[in-house]
Each structure stands twice: as structure tokens, then as C-alpha cells.
Amino acid sequence: MDQVGNDTRTIGVFDSGVGGLSVLHHIRDTLPEARLVYVADSGHVPYGGRSAAFIEARAMALTRFLLSQGAEAIVIACNTATAAAALPLRKQFSKIPFIGMEPAIKPAVAATQSNVVGVLATVGTLESARFAALLEKYAGSVKIVTQGCPGLVEVVERGDLHSVEARRLVERYTAPLLQAGADTFILGCTHYPFLAPLIREVVGGQIALIDTGAAVARELKRRVDTELPPRVKLGEVGNETFHTSGDVARATRIVSQLWGADAVVEALPLVFR
């Protein structure tokens, strides 16, 4: 029988909330026939002000849930969770490919013409050793201006992508980057790509906005293709399932809005909350 068919591999994805859906869109484009299982840990959002120990514990719980759903590879679709938990996850679940997020310092440094790059991120990401290592490795002579963004995750979690509050926060956080001469902004949180249209309205089209969702999806595909055994079932069609540790009705509304299609969101089992 001809073995050219659909990849029915199961990919797990988790984030502190709904921001990781920005990455899930890229994953769906890259692996169109895969089964995608997404968890929004909205009962504990945002991670930015949480301790590393708390974030690691949540990452462990969400990973165990995704494995119970058949996940063969897991994307940590959260910069803060990657910084706090990627290493312990890889140690605890050594046979599972984990693909994490990190602020796109390298491509931003390559893109800037003014030699000034701005980083919009959570405080947890900016204070992490992982972020410091990225600066050490890639910044070189380019000036990196960082800006913590309390409140931005929350407006995305509410679906308020064009609200007065969202604009006020975007204006506040981008102003220091513009004043410093940055011509390239790194969107250092997976929630922020959903605010990209608003950010462009505020800062203008001359500012390059860079996020890592597409690169993460490509890396996921590379690792799936090289590290996991073939799994092909003819006639299968890719689908998505969504889960939340927060309010299900609210999550259903926001996930449907950000995913761009009606979504059914299920409650995360109590043992994983």
C-alpha cells in the first residue's frame, strides 16, 4: 500500500494562558495533519510575576497532562515558562522532545539598522538567566533596551486587543524604546503577537516587529522528523483540542476569538490544576 498519507502525530502545547495560540497557528501551518492538544493555564496567569519554583511545578503538571493525552513532543509556548522550566522538564522527561521559546535576540540584531533593539517582555523573562545568556551571546555592539510590560498579558487574556487600556499600555511601554532609537522590537511573550496590529498603529510601520512563533514551528517539525519514528495513518485529518485551568466559558470565548474559529474548550482535570 502507498504510505504517502497524513501525519497523525500528537503535539502538546502549553502556555500560561491563551498567548501560545499565536504559536499554535504557526504549528498548524507547519504540521497541517497533526493532532494538536493545547493547554491554557489561565487559572494561574500571568506567569510573569510568579516564582521559578511555582512555574516549574505548573509546567510539570501540564506536561503530565499532555503526555496522558498522547503527546509525543511538547512545545513550551511561553518565554517565562521556558526560562524557568525547560531544563528540569528535559531532565524529568528525557525521552520527550521539548521545544521552548526565547526572545529573538539573534534575528533582531541582524535586522536592526539603528543598532538599537527594543525588547517587550514579562519581568520574569527579562530577569532570567536564559535571557542574560542570549544577550551575552548575540547582542554584540547592538544596544538592547528592555521593557517589562505588566498588564499586557491580561488584556490579551480578556480579548481586549483594541481597547483603550490596551492602547494606553502599548503607548507607555513602547515610548522608552522609541526614545532610545530602537527600530526593531522583539515581542518577547507569546501573548504579544495578538497585539501586533495595535503596536503598529502606535509606533508606525517603520518599526520591525519580531516574534519567534514561525521559527519554533520549524524547529518542532525538524525534531519530529528526525527524533521520532514515523507515524502515518491514511485518511486522518488534523484537529485541535483545547483545555484550560481557568473559567471554561470565558476561555471558550477568547480561544474562539484568537484561534479564528469556534472552539470547544474543556476543563483541565482537577488533578492537573
Contact 71, 10 (CB under 8 A): yes
- Measure the CA–CA gap between 161 and 193, rounded to whole angstroms: 10
SS (H, E, C) 209-236: EECCHHHHHHHHHHHHHHHCCCCEECCC
The runs of H, that is alpha helices, within the chain are 21-30, 52-68, 79-92, 105-111, 123-126, 129-138, 152-157, 164-179, 196-203, 213-227, 248-259
Q: Which of 78, 81, 109, 152 is catalytic?
A: 78
Q: Which of 189, 220, 251, 268 is catalytic?
A: 189
Q: What dihedral do alpha carbons 105, 110, 115, 117 form, nearest 10°?
A: -30
**78 flagged as catalytic:** yes
Contact 66, 14 (CB under 8 A): yes
C-alpha cell at 113: 539598522
Active site residues: 78, 189
